[in-house]
Structure 1
Amino acid sequence: MLNKLKELNEFPIYSCNDKEFKEFGQVITGYNFEELVEYAEKHTPIPEVGNIYIASDSEMEKLSVFEEVKTNLYGDMDIQFGYCNGNNSLLNGLEYHKGSEVNIAITDLVLLLAHVKDIENGKIESSKVKGFFIPKGTVIEVYQTTMHFSPCKVSDDGFKCIVILPRDTNTDIDLSKKIIIFEEDKYLFKRNKWLLVHNDKQDFISRGAYEGIVGANLKVKY
């Protein structure tokens, strides 16, 4: 699959096991996510079109591994277990959080990643983005300095991905009360979510998202 993705796409795609991933995150091993993966496989749908994102799934958070992740991976901070499933193939946007994100690939998928250091004068070139193939069953930590957005599918069946974050991340805030003091304040879109989007995402821009991606809106071909 990885070799096929490399052949079909005009931007770099690596494996999350390659050294190039170390700038953006790490592969996590040792935890038993079997129950959580089984739940996601059976009880989280892939919509016919578009994506679905659930920030916090109360049934997932009842599983025993929740406390292990909360205590160890997040240093006893309050966290949430959710998921993002869908049919996306495009870059569309790049977001970051103040705190790492843990992803579990329930299907094979690709993440399009960039680094916050590559934002210059409120813009980031899509040429700075690298693709990473995340095989089914892989658990990764995405560092808070890593810009990311929706996973991309690598089959017609779509993708499924568990998303673990500090509690209340990606929930709604009143953007009308936002005060711009520092440059990155312009990017704040939801709670603990700083987002730059491509001009193609007019639906997000109309809701207050910051247009900050310059260049092609990358598409993952498979």
Structure 2
Amino acid sequence: MLSHLNEVNDVKILSVFDDEFKTYGNVVTGYDFNELIAYMEKDTDIPENGNIYVASVPEMERANIVNAIRDEIYGGMPIQVGYCNGRNTTYNGFEYHKGSEINVAVTDFMLVLGHTWLIAKDGTYKVEDAKVFFVPKGTAIEMFQTTLHLSPCRVYDEGFKGIVILPQGTNTPLESKPANREGENKLLLQKNKWVIAHPEREPLIKQGAFPGLIGENKELKY
């Protein structure tokens, strides 16, 4: 699959097992995610268009592995377990959180990743600075809080499915926005969610995301 993706795209597709991934995150091993994967395969659907994101699913949060993830990877801090399923193929923008994000690939998918330290002082980020990584089915990864990311991109017609684990409350509505909307504050869209959107990504812009992604809103082929 990785060879095929590199043949059909004009950007290099890397693997999360490559050394280039080390500044973005870690491949997570030693945990059995099969209970969560089975729930995803049986009880979640891929929408006909676009993506669906659910921040917290109580049935998933009762899985046996969740306490170990909370206690070991997050040092005992409360976490939420949800998912993102969809058919996305374009960059669209980037987000970041204060705290790591765990993704488990229920299907193969690609992720477009960047570094927060390359965000300009005015809040803009250049598409050309991002890299694309292939995440094979069954792989769990930790993305550092300095890693820009957004929705996965599909590698099959039927779309993708992915488990998303984050600090509790992330990606939920803000009770109030900062009065000072300068600097990083202008990127804050939801709780623990700072977003830089591509100007063409109307759904994000309508939500109030900062239109600061500079360059082509590239579409990845599969």
Fold-level similarity (TM above 0.5): yes
Give 2:165's aligned residue: 164
Which moved further from structure 2: 104-113 or 177-186?
177-186
**Code of the aligned partner of 1:167:** Q
Give 2:21's aligned residue: 21
- 2:144, 2:197 → 1: CA distance? 20
- 1:195, 1:181 → 2: CA distance? 13
Structure 1 residue 218: Cα displacement: 1.6
Give 2:98's aligned residue: 98
The unaligned stretches of length 5 or more in structure 2 are none
**Code of the aligned partner of 2:23:** E
**Code of the aligned partner of 2:167:** P
Instruction: Show CA shifts across 1:128-165 (max 9, x none).
Output: 11000000000000000000000000000100000000
- 2:138, 2:33 → 1: CA distance? 9
- 2:12, 2:26 → 1: CA distance? 18
- 2:60, 2:203 → 1: CA distance? 30
Give 2:65's aligned residue: 65
**Structure 1 vs Structure 2 CA RMSD:** 1.1
Structure 1 residue 16: Cα displacement: 0.3
Give runs of aligned pairs for residues 62-211 of structure 1, distance below 5 A. 62-120=62-120, 121-174=122-175, 177-180=177-180, 182-211=182-211
Structure 1 residue 181: Cα displacement: 6.0
Instruction: Show CA shifts across 1:72-93 (max 9, x none).
Output: 1100000000000000001101
- 2:99, 2:25 → 1: CA distance? 12
User: Cα 1:31–1:188, aligned 2, differ >3 Å: closer, same or farther?
Assistant: same
Matched residue SS, 2:29:
coil
Structure 1 residue 217: Cα displacement: 0.5
**Code of the aligned partner of 1:137:** G
Instruction: Show CA shifts across 1:91-141 (max 9, x none).
Output: 101000000000000000000000011111321110011000000000000
- 2:119, 2:22 → 1: CA distance? 19
Percent of counterpart pairs with the same letter?
49
**Code of the aligned partner of 2:214:** V
- 1:172, 1:200 → 2: CA distance? 23
Structure 1 residue 180: Cα displacement: 2.3
Matched residue SS, 1:59:
helix
The unaligned stretches of length 5 or more in structure 1 are none
- 2:175, 2:168 → 1: CA distance? 18
**Code of the aligned partner of 2:66:** F
Aligned residue pair count: 221
Structure 1 residue 53: Cα displacement: 0.3
Give 2:218's aligned residue: 218
Structure 1 residue 195: Cα displacement: 0.2
Instruction: Show CA shifts across 1:180-203 (max 9, x none).
Output: 265111100000000000011122
Matched residue SS, 1:210:
coil
- 2:27, 2:58 → 1: CA distance? 25
